[in-house]
Every structure is written in C-alpha cells, then in structure tokens.
Amino acid sequence: MVWTALFGGALLLGACSRQSQSSAVIAQVGDATLTVEDLRRMVPDEVLNGAGQGDLVGFVNQWMRSELLFQAAEAIGYGNDLRVEQRARQARRDIIIDVFLEDELDMRPFISEEEISSYYENNLASFTRVEAEVQAAIVWFEDADHAGQARQALNGGRSFTEVMADTSLGVVASNLEMQYLSRVELGDELGDAVFEVRAGTLSRPIRIDDGYILVRVNDRQEAGTVRSLGEVRDEIVMRLTSDLWEMKLDELLSRLLDQADVSINIEAGLEALGRERLP
C-alpha cells in the first residue's frame, strides 16, 4: 500500500497547481490508484469541504478496504460468477428506472413558493421543537495544546475554515454544518459539552474521548419554538410532492400501458409453480 498525499498534515492539495491537484495520487492498492479527483467523485462536496485530516483518512481507508476485497475476489474468478452477472443486470435496470423517473417525475417545478409558504403557515404545530436545539460549529483536535492554539487563532479573527486548513493545528475532524441539532442527536457526551456553551461564544478546549474539541454555538432555540421556513423548506417540498409524485407515476404507467403490448396469464404461472388455480 502506498500513501503519497495524505498524512503528516500535508494534503498535497495546497502545494500543487489546480491541474495537478485533480490527478494527485492519494493512495494505491496494486495497480489501482485513488486520486483527488476520484475522492471528489466518491464523497459529496458538502462533506468533503468540511472534512478534517481524520475524515480524509477514513475515506481513504474505506476505499482501500473496498479495493483489497475487489482485487482478491477478481483474482479467484468472481468477475465471471453468474450471480454477479445477474445482480449487475438487475442493478443496471434499477438505476435506469431511477434516472428515468427523476427526469419524468421531477415535481419541483410544480411546487410554487406560495404553496410552500401557505403549507408552513397552516402547519406550524408540526414544525415546533420538542426539545432544545443548537446551531454550532465543532472541531476536533489531537490534543489540548493544538486546541488551545486554534482557540487563540479564532479569537484573533481567523475563521474555522482557515483553522482547519492549517495543518500545524492537528485538526482531526469537524462539523461546520449550520443545521440545528438536539442533545440526543449530538450524543450524550458531545451533547452535554455543546449545550454547556452559551450562544454566541467560543468554548475553551473540551476533552471528548481521547481528543479535544472547540465549540462555537451560533444560536440556541428552546423547546416549544417553531423552526423557521428556511429550516423546513425541503421537508415541506417533500411532503407536497409525495402525493403529486404518486399521481404522476400512476398517469405515466397508465400511458405506458396503453402504448405497450402487454399480456398477463396468472393461471399459467400458477400451474407452472404447482399452485392451485384461482377460483
């Protein structure tokens, strides 16, 4: 196994031109290589952009394990196994159907902003918080010294993004998503730590498991408050499109049925399976 771009905090990304960044080899297993471009295809941008060194090591380890298993299976002939061919055909059918329906049944253009706002106003009770939630940025560090240095940098005006990019600060992982999370969603130990931080403040280094975190709570909303329209917009769109999607799917299937040459013989199937005929 070859690790050429990841470890020791040097991600090669910052030292190469834009063209060479995309082809920089991060890991290699046999003849297979994982480049930065491959990694970007493997991990969604919103996840990769907020990933620390520990996250990246995890992504690469996942690829490495998958590649080791794949190469071992292929070496003993599983590439020609009939079960693999059957599953591949079924997977291709399912993917084709999914992509076809994504295009045919895209309901988003049919949902207006007025409908979304109206649904929100008429269903405020369903968007009420059951428990308190915080909106926070969290960064994990290797040790207390690095966390302390990062805290000084943040208090000095540097952003969390700049701190994460500074490889001398030992960032292990991060969660900078601006969604509201409850204590339960954060987990017992992390939730207790985050909820101790006052809204609008940056915590001191907090020990979590074998590492340390810094937390900046941007906002806190108590139980009984109503989530904003911006927070629940996607959920509303999903609710509004669900019934419409089913109706459009029925219309599509009915149209395709009219256009196709279809025949069904249930009794023949029952006979072939040795089952009783229908009454």
- DSSP line for 189-228: HHHHHHHTSPTT-BPPPEEETTEEEEEEEEEEE-TTPBPP
Residue 57 covered by a domain: yes
Residue 105 covered by a domain: no
Give the domain-ending residue among 221, 236, 257: 221
For 246-270, the pLDDT digits (tens) are: 888 888 888 888 898 888 887 877 7
Q: What is the CATH number of the domain that holds 149?
A: 3.10.50.40
List, in sequence order, every residue forming a beta bridge with 217; answer none if it has no partner: 136
For 54-100, the pLDDT digits (tens) are: 788 888 889 999 999 999 999 999 999 999 999 999 999 999 998 99
Residue type, 130: V
Residue 268 covered by a domain: no
Distance between CA 14 and CA 27 in Å, rounded? 17
Residue type, 63: W
How many CB atoms sit inside 10 A of residue 205's CB? 20
Q: What is the pTM of this model?
A: 0.52
Residue 10 covered by a domain: yes
**pLDDT at position 271 over 60:** yes
Share of the chain above pLDDT 70, in %: 89
Amino acid 276: pLDDT: 64
Give the domain-ending residue among 192, 221, 250: 221
Looking up tokens 């108590």 gives 222
Looking up tokens 């997977």 gives 91
Q: Which domain holds residue 55?
A: 2-75
